[in-house]
Structure 1
């Protein structure tokens, strides 16, 4: 598998297959949203769009980066939403980097959104699709976020194998734990955070599903996707 690792601003063409990585915290949060029972996540292009969608659909749950704000129900923190009951709900998510990255590649034939918590399921889905070339969109810090790059490289390593030989995750997780984002969360620099956020973002393979984004009725919608176990790169 030919893997490219690009920042959002470096996307000069529409990739065939894109994996959008935001470890701290958009796609860790998205995975928790699904684990708490949400049916789908609508990825909003702006705060105004998120609020407009919420106004048209009062039963939807609106979520954003940073501190709580009028019109939004939740903030982008896995620690703060892990006890929420989201069964059957639609969540509207707008973040600084993660949602921006997914919308930037919305015309790709396959768009996956990922963090460490869904790393193996994401790699397994790539293996089942037999993807020759994959563009990993490193969303944080203009494509230089160490936690996102480490996660992208780990998924690429897992996807390139046949699923039987483990890629040692310790070094990739160590890089993520030492990232600027992890330090800012741990030190309370970023608002709308919980003390457990860093640890939750670094839980490898917490969830068994991948997350696939695709256009639905003019919206970019993220849904969980069950991925069958593989043997030798072939679905079992």
Structure 2
């Protein structure tokens, strides 16, 4: 299996059937929290699409961020801590995230897509290995400002090393990313949507036992569903 890291979505070859999309802060950690709270997760490409979906399904909840901020009218922020505390059992949550979700939407023509962050590295590595793919694209989307996302790129390299059995040092990455500008929101007392606990929820290694895969829901929107490594074969 050959794994290649892409920071530019346009550079991902159409011939690559299996894609993994990184988002460290905070989309995929939030998605796991929502699912583990008993809800289904659907993905909307932007706040406008989410609002249109909500108009058709007013009982669905909107969660996420756009340019790092919770959009007006959303029910939940892009926060694993706060979503875990919410009563979401048997609900449907539409998740928006300005870096990660548009990447998923752009790459939907590829056969299989796996979201990843530090919390599900081993589960996703096992899913990729079980897919029997010859080539895998590891995508590290840019940040909200269009600039390179260092945390996503580092996470992509971490996953590549995990699959290829090269050494990784999570402790060093944890300390380095804790002091990066992208993590400043977790220290900002004015940011009630980004509690300090979110940093550990996003960075804790292998906190999740299962991978997530993107599927098409009955409503046409991408959905995230947990898969066991043993069922990750193509």
Which range, TM-score by smaller chain? 0.7 to 0.9
Find the counterpart in structure 1 of residue 29 from structure 2.
Answer: 28
Following the alignment from structure 2 to structure 1, what is the Cα–Cα distance between the partners of residues 190 and 99?
17
Query: Is contact 2:63-2:77 (8 Å) kept?
Result: yes
Q: Which residue pairs with 2:150 in the alignment?
A: 146
Distance 1:36 1:171, change over 3 A: same
How far the C-alpha of 1:96 sits from its partner, in A, is 1.0
CA distance in 1, matches of 2:116, 2:24: 7
Deviation of the 1:143 alpha carbon: 6.7
The Cα of 1:190 is off from its aligned counterpart by: 6.2
Match of 1:170? 171
Residue equivalent to 2:79: 77
**In 2, Cα distance between equivalents of 1:132 and 1:8:** 21
TM-score by length of 1: 0.85
Cα deviations across residues 83-125 of structure 1 (Å, max 9, x unaligned)? 1222222210111111011111111111001111111111111
Change (3 A) 1:191 1:11: farther
Q: 5+ residue gaps in structure 2?
A: none
The 5-angstrom pairing of residues 105-116 of structure 1 reads: 105-116=107-118
Report SS of the residue matched to 2:85: coil
- Residues 7 and 154 from structure 1, CA distance in 2 versus in 1: closer, same or farther, beyond 3 angstroms? same
1:228 CA drift (Å): 3.8
Q: Give the corresponding residue for 1:90.
A: 92
- With over 3 angstroms needed to count, the CA separation of the structure-2 counterparts of 1:152 and 1:143, relative to structure 1, is farther
Question: Greater CA deviation, 183-192 or 116-125?
Answer: 183-192
**Cα displacement string for residues 47-97 of structure 1 (whole angstroms, at most 9, x for unaligned residues):** 121012112112212112123622x21111112212122222221011111
SS of residue matched to 2:225: strand
Offset of residue 180 of structure 1: 2.5
- Evaluate the alpha carbon distance shift between residue 42 and residue 101 of structure 1 in structure 2; reply closer, same or farther with a 3 A threshold: same
1:39-78 mapped onto 2 (5 Å cutoff): 40-65=40-65, 66-67=69-70, 69-70=72-73, 72-78=74-80
Q: TM-score, normalised by structure 2?
A: 0.85
Uncovered stretches (5+) of structure 1, i.e. residues with no partner: none
Query: Residue 225 of structure 1: CA displacement?
Result: 1.3
* Whole-angstrom distance in 2 between the partners of 1:11 and 1:63: 29
How far the C-alpha of 1:8 sits from its partner, in A, is 4.2
Q: CA deviation at 1:198?
A: 1.2
CA contact 1:8–1:101 (8 Å) conserved in 2: no
Farther off after superposition, 174-183 or 114-123: 174-183
Q: In 2 relative to 1, CA 8–190 (structure 1 residues): closer, same or farther, beyond 3 Å? A: farther
